[in-house]
Amino acid sequence: MLRKIALWSVWAGFIAYVFLLSRPLHLSETIALLINILTFQWGEVNAIILSLFALVGVWLLIYNCLLFIDGRMQKIPFWVFALASVGSGVIGLIPYLALREPNQEFEGKKDSFLNLLDSRSTGIVLAVFTVFVVGYGVFAGNWADYIHQFQSDRFINGMSLAFCLFAVLFSTVLGDDMARRGWLKDSQLFWVIALVPLFGALLYLCIRPSLIESTS
């Protein structure tokens, strides 16, 4: 119950901050930014902001690799929240984290979609892509411009904080996924994965053993 209260509090607090307490929303500039990103006019976008946008997508894929499997054993389907998170990011994801029940088992067969999400190859592809994206943002980005936009623009500020929230909340689902694969939640590896932002989660996807199918 305490976990649920904490997650709902984080969800409500983040929404209140973004929409009530955060920086002004420059709607026309935000729309122009999204158009440039989605139409591949990336030369018009600060490399840091472009990389951050891509890394939010990476985080969503990381969670998908755990939660579509988790959702098989829950009363609520995860796919609804996965769709919601495509447009709203962490705001669409947190309600699932709050509503789901702890579960360390998996029953049934994996279909082709779950096999893809469960594959180490998927984790390796995400990791390689992330290294490229981070490198691009760090070395090609305009840091002064990013800091200015973080301080003055609601969309950039909220997206940056959402990225951090993804990292903080990952530990809430990591333990159950590790237990399904025969790894203990309180192992040293759990803390390495949980405490290293983003790359700890990617390392986990690259090394975790395949989920064992069961009919019992």
Cβ proximity of 193 and 167 under 8 Å: no
Res. 56 pLDDT band, cuts 50 70 90: very high
Res. 33 pLDDT band, cuts 50 70 90: very high
Q: List, for residues 134-146, the tens digit of each pLDDT value.
A: 999 999 999 999 9
Confidence check: pLDDT of 215 > 70: no
Confidence check: pLDDT of 107 > 90: no
Identity of the highest mean pLDDT range in 29-38, 59-68, 205-214: 59-68
Mean pLDDT of 185-213: 89
Which tokens in the block code for residue 215? Answer: 């009919």
**Lowest-confidence range among 122-136, 173-187, 193-207?**
173-187
Distance (Å, whole) CA 69 – CA 132: 28
**Lowest-confidence range among 123-137, 146-160, 174-188?**
174-188
Confidence check: pLDDT of 162 > 70: yes
Confidence check: pLDDT of 46 > 60: yes
Give me the chain's average pLDDT, please.
92
In order of 42, 54, 117, 121, 211, the CA distances from 181 in angstroms are 40, 29, 14, 17, 6
pTM for the whole structure:
0.94
In order of 11, 191, 214, the CA distances from 8 in angstroms are 5, 24, 33
Please report the pLDDT score of residue 187 as a whole number: 76
Q: List, for residues 5-18, the tens digit of each pLDDT value.
A: 999 999 999 999 98
**Burial zone of 182 (CB within 10 Å; 0-12 exposed, 13-18 middle, 19+ buried):** exposed
